[in-house]
Amino acid sequence: MTTATRRSPAVPAAARSDWEDLLSPTPDPEPYDSAMGAALPAAARRWLDHAVAPGTPLRRRVEMRQHGQLRLGGRWWAFRSRQALDPLRGYVWPVSTSLFGVPMVGVDRLHGESAEMTHRLLGLVPVVRASGADLARSAAARAASEICWSPATALDPSVRWREVSDTEVVALVPVGGEVHECTLLVAGDGALPGGTTRRWAQVDGGPWRWHTFGARTLAEGTFGGFTVPTRVVAGYGDDYAGEGAFIQLMVDAVTHR
């Protein structure tokens, strides 16, 4: 494992407009009341009551500071990142790491139906540059799955719900022109042990196709009335938290706007 710079990466100039738009304040956020989820399946209601303290303004946009490890080429590389997130509209994720001692900075972003990945060694030499419909479809599934960091989004009228059991519920989240089915596992106390969705992706250099994309929550924390995951491992396939894992993420700070 390598070490990443201790400083959070800057938002690239080309992504600043999207960053600011995604973090524009939620208009007229209502204070949370448990009765707001009365029409939702029991597991979804239990999650919301756990995740949102009574009276908390239902702010949907999220700014996070993070660190962790990414698996690339069979090795784990330390990184630091920031994120602007509105699950229904997209995200901007600036990230910094170091490959064999050479600093690399980049940004993954989705805004509406447009997505882009750009990563540069020394901030100058492009090593990853991608865009297009396949990437946008993949990024939209990521945004939908990150509803766990924006519990207020669960009450948006465009998000539909399907009950599976008392401990499992499906959120149907519209992002990027498609509806993404996100299965949430809900513990007895309302915490989220994990979840899965189908994600359009290239895995290990293979072709674009649908894969199981899942995450396991290892810890959670409370920020401004919202209780959200703070330590997560995620990846592809049936063993997404083991052999299929490609990211170990720790969330250092969360602000809902």
Domain ranges of the chain: 13-256
Residue 20 has pLDDT above 70, yes or no: yes
Burial of 250 (0-12, 13-18, 19+ CB in 10 A): middle
Residue 141 has pLDDT above 60, yes or no: yes
pLDDT on residue 123:
76
CATH topology of domain 13-256: outer membrane lipoprotein receptor (LolB), chain A (2.50.20)
Q: Read off the pLDDT band of 3 (50, 70, 90).
A: very low
From 154, 141, 158, 152, select the one nearest 43 (Cα to Cα).
154
Q: Which two tokens stand for residue 207?
A: 């072709």
In angstroms, the CA 144 to CA 197 distance is 9
The better pLDDT of the pair 204, 215 is held by: 215
* Residue-wise pLDDT tens digits, 57-102: 999 999 999 999 999 888 999 999 999 999 999 999 999 998 888 8
Q: Over the chain, what is the mean pLDDT?
A: 95
